Amino acid sequence: MKKDLIGLAAALCLGFTAQAFAADATAMSKDAHKAAKDRIEAQYKADKKACDAQNGNAKDICKAEAKGKEKIAKAELEAQYKPGAKADEKVKTAKADADYDVAKEKCDDMTGNAKDACRKDAKAAHAAAKDQAKKS
């Protein structure tokens, strides 16, 4: 019985120690953060350049998708660099904003009442997503 308790206590200590090391291992250095940010910006420039091959509203949609992808990636990077509930909310808000911007651009392909309804639906979905981000 006593050996079981000693073994259990040792296992708990090792578990907490391993958890502390894992937390340190996931912490991001300033240099790693800057390098990741630079990669995100380079990817955005490449994505935006790829949009140049398109014309009209398809080009606008492509650019909105590229910008949204960049905003989400930066928010996720900040959440890794400085984790917390506020960072998680910013990621969800960035996703909602990106989806909204793309949806608005897609609505531009429509005309009249269909365009108005599309924009109204996009705005409602955006508001719901932002509310959900704040509640989580």
Q: How does pLDDT run across 82-92, given as a tens digit for each residue?
A: 999 999 999 99
Q: In the prediction, which pLDDT does 21 show?
A: 38
Render pLDDT for 7-57 as a digit per residue (tens, 0 to 9): 444 444 444 333 443 444 456 899 999 999 999 999 999 999 999 999 999
**What is d(CA 136, CA 133) in angstroms, rounded to the nearest whole number?**
5
Residue 107 contacts by C-beta under 8 Å, 6 or more apart in sequence? 115, 118, 119, 122
Contact between residue 130 and residue 96 where contact means Cβ atoms under 8 Å apart: yes
In this prediction the pTM is: 0.76
Contact between residue 95 and residue 72 where contact means Cβ atoms under 8 Å apart: yes
The domain ranges of the chain are 29-135
